[in-house]
Amino acid sequence: MYKNLTSPISFSLLMFVSLPIVSTLIFESKSAAWAQSTPTIQDQKSQADNLLKRAKQNLGVSQNLEAFKDYQKALNIYQQLGDLQGKAESLNGMSTAYYNQDALERGLPVYFEDFGFTEGENYFNQALAIAKKIGNQKLEAESLTGLGRAVDRLSDSAKAIKYYDQALAISKKIGDRQSEGRILNYLGVAHRSRAYFQKVLDYHQQALAVSKNIGDRQLEASALKELCDLYHNYDSNYIDKPSLSKMEMQQQSLTYCQKSLDIFSQIKDIPTSIQILRFISSSYKDLISKEQVIKYYQKTLLIAQQTNNRYLQKHTFESIGDIYDELGQYQKALDFYQQALKFESPVLQPAIGNQNYGLYSLYKSIGRCYSNLKQYALSIDYYTRSLDIAKFYDKNNKDNVKSVAFTKNYLLYSLGEAYYAQGKYQQAIDNYQESLSIYKSERDLEMQGTILWALGSSYGALANYQQAIASFQESISIFKKLNLPSDLAILLSNLGNSYFAIEQYQKAIDAFRESLLLKKQLGDRKGELELLTNIDDAIKALEKQKTKP
């Protein structure tokens, strides 16, 4: 807002001057005040130009929201001034910021509300019409490039390629090498749906060559990033199959990603750096050590802390926890999970979206760590908290939407395991049975067999051998169908022990012998010796039983 007019000349002062002079003085005073508070057309033009310049700088480092807002402000001023070129550049810029953010994170944040793919295409079309009207070929090429991105995002790659080809021809004609490089990159992306690996590769390599020729680091990093993505998707149905093996393709992809990351970090493009760090950390666990994965996550965490990005901090703490969990370093995993937990609200939301999923997932992970650390009371506490959220979700999910995996079955099974470890066998049985009923409805045979096995062990611990035998027999039937000999061998041994406990020695011998046969096939010498001892004990017990009066 502009400043108010200066204060009116006091009445007492006006009494000392004649009426005509007073009139003149008042008129001149108002005129001077308006001159100070109302910007000239040149001032407005300068303000809009500065906004445009700042927006382009932000666009170059993926600060897309900031760029979008500045383009929007500039557009309003250019429209008031009737500045067609400024208007067209702003329209192009707003839409470009929108599509850049879409490429960075699918599912755009709310600050782009009232603006979507249709609006983006319309804005590019408006800019194109203006560019042709004023004869600005650079602007025309930019608008055509934008239209290509718009229709490509709507899955019309053939139409996108036509727009890109037109834009490329203009850029080459006017010698705009920076635009030429960007368009070559976009052409590579658009051609991926046509399944010709070499053609896509050529476009991105041409873009890379242009970037190095003109010294454009941002363009170079973008080309390397696209090459990383191309090699990563090794299993695409390319018509001309790459000659490299799957592992070689992945190694090449990782190399391009790392080079891209180095440049994006150097030019302070934080959002894209984070995107690549997270991509490497999650996609290349088989190519780099878990310790190296942790280092990438720690770089992400540092950026998240510097930018006060709470969501990213929480996600990264949890991801590092997952890696330490995989490494069997449960106390370290627990420390990172607890850090992540600080970013979650303990207040449950009745809505059916993702609001409660982070808390649910962390409680489950913490419960698992405590279980692995044999701190079963704490494990049960956190598993129960996670289970309560899953139950809360079911209760409030009136429409039965299954978009978020608040599953109770695994938690119930895990609780059963923790109670079993504490020697609380009846509580273990209660949780196992509830879990089993869910797994039966989902037709997960392996988990059904596993839970029946656990039930058999729990019943056996309570000396309820008939129930144990029934559970073991059901489990054996399932594992035979699944052809899992190692599990079968253990189950048959357990079954034999249960029969032995109720003095049905012949059935015990039969079960032990069947288990022994599997142990021999598996080459488990230690297991064989143990079973031979069991069989010998059962035979002696049977003979003694027969001699009883």
**How far, in Å, CA of 384 to CA of 341, rounded?**
16
Residue type for position 365: S
In tens digits, what is the pLDDT along the chain, a chain of 549 residues? 333 333 333 323 333 233 333 333 333 333 334 344 567 888 899 999 999 999 999 988 988 889 999 999 999 999 999 999 999 999 999 999 888 888 877 655 556 667 777 888 899 999 999 999 999 999 999 999 999 999 998 889 999 999 999 999 999 999 999 999 999 999 999 998 877 899 999 999 999 999 999 999 999 999 999 999 999 987 667 888 788 888 899 999 999 999 999 999 999 999 899 999 989 988 888 889 999 999 999 999 999 998 898 988 999 999 999 999 999 999 999 999 999 999 988 776 665 555 678 899 999 999 999 999 999 999 999 999 999 988 888 777 655 555 556 788 999 999 999 999 999 999 999 999 999 999 998 888 999 999 999 999 999 999 999 999 999 999 999 999 999 999 999 999 999 999 999 999 999 999 999 999 999 999 999 999 999 999 999 999 999 998 877
CA 41, CA 317: separation in Å to the nearest integer? Answer: 52
CA distances (Å), 548 to each of 501, 505, 534, in order? 18, 14, 21
Which residue is associated with the tokens 């600060």? 63
Angle between helices 330-341 and 310-326 (to 10 degrees): 160
Structure tokens at 240: 């001309």
Both tokens assigned to 545: 């039983």
Q: What is the distance, to the nearest Å, from the Cα of residue 288 to the centroid of all Cα atoms in its chain?
A: 20
Residue 28, pLDDT score: 38
Q: Could you tell me the sign of the dihedral formed by the alpha carbons of 436, 442, 448, 454, in that order? A: negative
What per-residue confidence (pLDDT) applies to 355? 66
**Distance between CA atoms of residues 110 and 333, nearest Å:** 33
Report the alpha-carbon distance of residue 405 to residue 390 in Å, rounded. Answer: 9
Q: What is the per-residue pLDDT for 16?
A: 29
Measured on CA atoms in the order 98, 99, 102, 103, is the torsion positive or negative? negative
Q: Name the nearest CA neighbour of 18 among 28, 26, 29.
A: 26
pLDDT at 548: 78
d(CA 195, CA 502) in angstroms, rounded, equals 67
Tokens 């109770």, located at residue = 408
Distances (CA, A) of 213 to 187, 207, 209, 343: 19, 10, 6, 46
Alpha helices per DSSP H over 327-462: 330-341, 357-372, 376-396, 409-421, 425-442, 445-461
| CA nearest to 147, candidates 184, 95, 109, 194 | 95
What are the structure tokens assigned to 279, written together? 């991509």
Q: What secondary structure letter does DSSP report for 111?
A: G
Yes or no: say if 298 and 265 are a contact pair by the CB < 8 Å rule: no
Taking each helix axis as running N to C, give the angle between helix 177-191 and helix 157-174, from 0 to 180 degrees, rounded to the nearest 10.
160
Give the pair of three-digit tokens for residue 529.
């010796």
Give the model's pLDDT for residue 430: 97
**CB crowding 260-278: b at 16 or more within 10 Å, else e:** bbebbbebebbbbbbbbbb
* pLDDT score recorded for residue 2: 35
Nearest to 188 by CA among 207, 171, 214: 207
pLDDT given for residue 154 in this prediction: 84
Q: Please state at what angle helix 290-306 crosses helix 310-326, rounded to 10 degrees.
A: 160
How much of the chain is helix, strand and coil, in % rounded to 5?
80, 0, 20
DSSP H/E element including 172: helix 157-174
CB 107 within 8 A of CB 311: no
The first and second tokens of residue 21, run together, are: 């002079």
Tell me the HSE value of 125 on the side-chain side, using a 13 A CA sphere.
8
**Helices 84-104 and 41-60, packing angle to 10 deg:** 20
- 429 contacts 458 by C-beta, under 8 angstroms: yes
Look-up: residue for tokens 């995002």? 153
Query: What is the pTM for the complete model shown?
Result: 0.76
User: How confident is the model at residue 24, as a pLDDT?
Assistant: 36
Copy the structure tokens of residue 535.
């069989």
Helix (H, G, I), strand (E, B) or coil at 151: helix
